[in-house]
Structure 1
Amino acid sequence: MTRKSISRIRYTLGEAVKKPAHVVRDTVEQTSDLLASSGELTFGKGLIGTIIALALGALCLLGVIAFHFPEYLTTPELRRQYSVDFLRQAMLVALLIAGGLSLANIILGFFRKLNLLAFALVISAVALGGSRVPVGNFPDHTPYIGLDWFILDLLGSTLIFIAIEKLLPLRKGQPVFRPEWQTDLKHFAVNHFLVGLILLTVNFVIHHGFGWMVQHDFQLAVQQIGFVPQLLLCILVADLSQYWTHRAYHEIPFLWKFHAVHHSAKSMDWLAGSRQHVLEVIATRVLVMTPLFVVGFSEAVVNAYIIIVGFQAVLNHANVGIPWGPLKYLIVTPDFHHWHHSSDDEAIDRNYAAHYAFLDYLFGTAVKADRRLPDKYGVVGDYMPDGFIAQQAFPFRAKPEG
């Protein structure tokens, strides 16, 4: 590092110390402007590095906090699978990347106040223990929020799906930070943070409301089926439930008010599928998981199904264009599901399936169009307000639409 670079860092840090109120105000304003913006990112101007530094710095700080309070901030099902050493190494790498990028941008004069914030997040994470926070024994049955699930899924989804969307775009030129991404990120965060409450509610309703339907001899027979055919059957049972639940959301006006939140996204990408009303998330999980519980699929099969549905739910909303060939008539693809989100006339109340596209052809609800992609997305009339809170309140204030 040159003497001039060191002088720049000292000057920037010195200004922050001498004028803390001014620096804080400007940093808050710049951060607010960044979070409110949308559009294409360009290389060579420091913005991409600044965003990566801010995101990694914030996620590392959240991760350190989760290390301190694992019984309340981590998901029991996930922490049983963790390699703590691997997580520590990953956090150390992320801290180094965030710290290095923020310092480099400060030296180069790119978005200095924002990078000062990113560097402060890194320093805060390190001061709280960083990757060395000790994790002792703790109770396993405490109430929790899924902070770890939010961090891991956000990192995994962005790394995988943004790369795929850029390499194989369905709609070329659509930016990563398209309009209303902020609203969908809030849906993503809340639905992940509430994972504990949602799972607790779903499990309670299923086990106490539908336990009488269980026939153990039948369940034992199902579990004797081989893993692959049992998994395919599990997906079919889940998708049949999903199909009719989804169709009810569209055809019953009261239910549509909740489901319209999901359909209000005007752009389709990996994050758009997160836009859902919390009550719809709970209701759909109950109605889809109950048949799986009653039929009695093995735990390994249900776990595999959960992984598949999580991946496919993101993929089907993603801005990904892949030539699927004849498979498009068998399984749900992004092309197929994008039509479901369209407000074009021929797309209304069509393509309900979540996994097996042939269900829509079987029940006569598949889209019939002479082009590959729809013209526009969203609800007809564009009446849905923007913003997470407004969308959660919408079903209780609005008259049925569409």
Structure 2
Amino acid sequence: MYQTKPQRLIIGKGQISGYISIFLSILALASILCFIFPEKLTTPEFREIYTAQSMQILIKAVIILSFGFALLSLLLSKKIQLAAIGAGIAGIAILLGVLKVQGSAVQKSSWYFGLDWMLLDLLLMTVIFIPVELFFPKNKNQTKFHEEWRTDLVYFVISHLFIQFFGIITQKPAVVFFGWIGLDKVHIWIQQLPFFAALLIAFFTTDFFQYWAHRIFHNHVYLWRFHSVHHSTQHMDWLAGSRTHFIDIFFTRAITFIPLYVLGFSPAVFNTYIIFIAIHAVLIHANTRINFGFLKYIITTPQYHHWHHCEDPKYYGKNFAALFPFIDMMFGTYYLPEKVWPEGTGVHESQYPKGFVKQTVYPFTKSPFDDNLKMEERSSR
């Protein structure tokens, strides 16, 4: 099991502002690379949402903030190391032409990395969830720099950079099995619905399909090998949800994509769905006690999903729904004690290796179950 080694940053010592400066300058530098190599580093679907001009303004603001935090770090700490790194990387971004980058037509490419999507999502999630976890933590003793955060960050980066690959392989089953039916009339009917009605249908149908895909991964011993990687984290936070094996991603997203393909939602509904799900998935894994009052019975919350990750075998097989608790109620898998949280998270039966590569290989070679664990206990997941 992982051993927590707190590396706490003290407010007012210049460390926090120094790390913020480095983080922002790296984002700016990577964003400049997106402008220089747009065909290979940006996602066609997302290029239609944002404009080159808006991104230029955002990059300039990020660079200015990076220099500001570098200066603050220097003034507070009286040490130059962190401030110099942040300012140096920001300076390289400027030298690459941030102030002169112009938007232009982007040629089509047969392959690309989703660097733009990764940077925008990383910036958005850190701006939202790091303050939430700092000011409203569930586990006050959990440091941001616990032993698992680097591994989870790699998962986050990989899943975003390979957005084209995961998009193609997860859409393929739906196209193969339903593409021959002729769905144009269904698509027209769905797209004529009021926006919020169509969005609600998208949420419910995808969550229903996701529920059963999720439950299958828990109930099937061999598939659990792969899904258990996601459950192996012992430090629930905003990055923990990114820890997902690629086999798990393929199967679950492929099943979830079926209603999106069959019903053919409008781009506005689809994009709203993607953005909401991305934020909500991070929220329910976050280290925060925010519980939304009575709304916790309508939509899943961190408390609800933390119980799904509980390491105590007594609570295995609970709370499979990603969005709507009533789906768990329908099928007898609902569990939400009033104000009680699980004492710990993780996989009780096994010790997982550290690092993305080792965790990717692990399910192909070993089962997380002890040889002495009874079959009925396994199937109860």
TM-score, normalised with respect to structure 2: 0.89
Q: Does 1:350 align with 2:318?
A: yes
* Superimposed CA distance per residue, residues 228-284 of structure 1 (whole angstroms, 9 cap, x where no aligned partner): 222212211111100000001101011111111110110111111111112322222
1:395 aligns with 2:363: yes
The aligned runs of 1:147-186 (5 Å cut-off) are: 147-186=115-154
Change (3 A) 1:398 1:103: same
Task: Return the letter of the residue paired with 1:181.
Answer: W
Q: Would the alpha carbon gap of residues 298 and 86 (structure 1) be closer, same or farther in structure 2, given more than 3 Å must change?
A: closer
Return the alpha-carbon distance in structure 1 between the equivalents of residues 123 and 5 of structure 2.
Answer: 21
Pairing of 1:220-231 with structure 2 (within 5 A) = 220-231=188-199
Q: Larger helix proportion, structure 1 or 2?
A: 1
| Kept in 1: contact 2:228–2:368 (CA 8 A) | no
Are 1:64 and 1:128, in contact at CA under 8 Å, matched by a contact in 2? Answer: yes
* Equivalent position amino acid for 2:315 in 1: A
- 2:180 is paired with a residue whose SS is helix
Residues 1:61 and 2:23 aligned together = no
The structure with the largest alpha-carbon Rg is: 1
Aligned residue for 2:223?
A: 255
Greater displacement, 70-79 / 324-333:
324-333
C-alpha contact (below 8 Å) 1:222/1:297 kept by paired residues: yes
**Worse-superposed segment, 367-376 or 254-263:** 367-376
Relative to structure 1, the CA distance from residue 334 to residue 323 in structure 2 (aligned partners, 3 Å threshold; closer, same or farther) is: closer
Query: Given the alignment of the two structures, is residue 201 of structure 1 paired with residue 173 of structure 2, yes or no?
Result: no
Residue 15 of structure 2 corresponds to which residue in structure 1? 47
CA contact 1:53–1:118 (8 Å) conserved in 2? yes
Distance 2:256 2:113 in 1: 23
Give yes or no for the alignment of 1:233 onto 2:201. yes
The aligned counterpart of 1:3 is none
Q: Which amino acid aligns with 1:163?
A: P
Q: Which runs of 5+ in 2 are unaligned?
A: 370-377
> Per-residue deviation at 1:68?
0.4
Change in CA separation of 1:365 and 1:105 when aligned onto 2, cut-off 3 Å: closer
Deviation at 1:111, TM superposition (A): 4.8
Displacement of 1:118 in angstroms is 2.4
Alignment of 1:222-301 (within 5 A): 222-301=190-269
Give the letter aligned to residue 329 of structure 1: Y
For the 8 Å contact 2:349–2:368, the answer to whether it is kept is no
Q: Is the 8 A contact 2:14 2:75 kept in 1?
A: no
Instruction: Give CA deviations for 1:292-333 in whole Å, capped at 9, x if unaligned.
Output: 211333333222222221121111111222343333222211
Equivalent positions of 1:137-152 (< 5 A) are 137-152=105-120
Q: CA RMSD in A?
A: 2.3
Gap runs ≥5 in structure 1: 1-35
AA partner of residue 337 (structure 1) = H
Look up the SS of the partner of 2:205 in the other structure: helix
1:253, 1:400 within 8 Å by CA — same for their partners in 2? no
TM-score calculated relative to the size of structure 1: 0.84
In 2: Cα distance, 1:193 partner to 1:37 partner: 30
Query: Equivalent of 1:366, from 320, 323, 334?
Result: 334
Instruction: Give, as a single letter, the amino acid of the residue that structure 2 aligns with 1:317.
Output: H
SS of the counterpart of 1:170? coil
> Residues 29 and 89 of structure 2 are in contact (CA less than 8 Å); yes or no, is this contact kept in structure 1?
yes
Q: Which amino acid aligns with 1:283?
A: F
Q: Which moved more, 1:261-270 or 1:359-368?
A: 359-368
Instruction: Give 1:339's aligned residue.
Output: 307
Quick check: 2:42–2:112 contact (8 Å CA) kept in 1?
Answer: yes
Query: Are 1:346 and 1:368, in contact at CA under 8 Å, matched by a contact in 2?
Result: no
**Percent identical:** 37
Structure 2: distance between partners of 1:292 and 1:354: 16
CA contact (8 A) 1:239 1:355 kept: yes
Corresponding residue SS for 2:299? coil
Conservation of the 8 A alpha-carbon contact between 1:346 and 1:367:
no
> Per the alignment, in what secondary structure is the counterpart of residue 167 of structure 2?
helix
Q: Bigger shift: 155-164 or 172-181?
A: 172-181
Q: Could you say if the C-alpha distance between residues 355 and 66 of structure 1 is closer, same or farther in structure 2, counting changes exceeding 3 Å?
A: same
Letter in 2 for 1:48: I
Q: Matches of 1:131 and 1:286 in 2, distance apart?
A: 42
Q: Indicate the residue corresponding to 2:99 in structure 1.
A: 131
CA distance in structure 2 between the aligned counterparts of 1:298 and 1:107, rounded to whole angstroms: 51
- Map Cα deviations across residues 156-184 of structure 1 (whole Å, 9 max, x no partner): 10011112222332333433333311111
Secondary structure (helix, strand or coil) at the match of 2:244 reads coil
Looking at structure 2, the residues matched to 109 and 327 of structure 1 have their Cα atoms a distance apart, in angstroms, of 44
Match of 1:72 in 2: 40
> C-alpha deviations, 1:336-356, integer Å up to 9, x for none?
111001112332111000011
TM-superposition CA deviations, 1:358-384 (whole Å, max 9, x none): 111110011265752000001113421
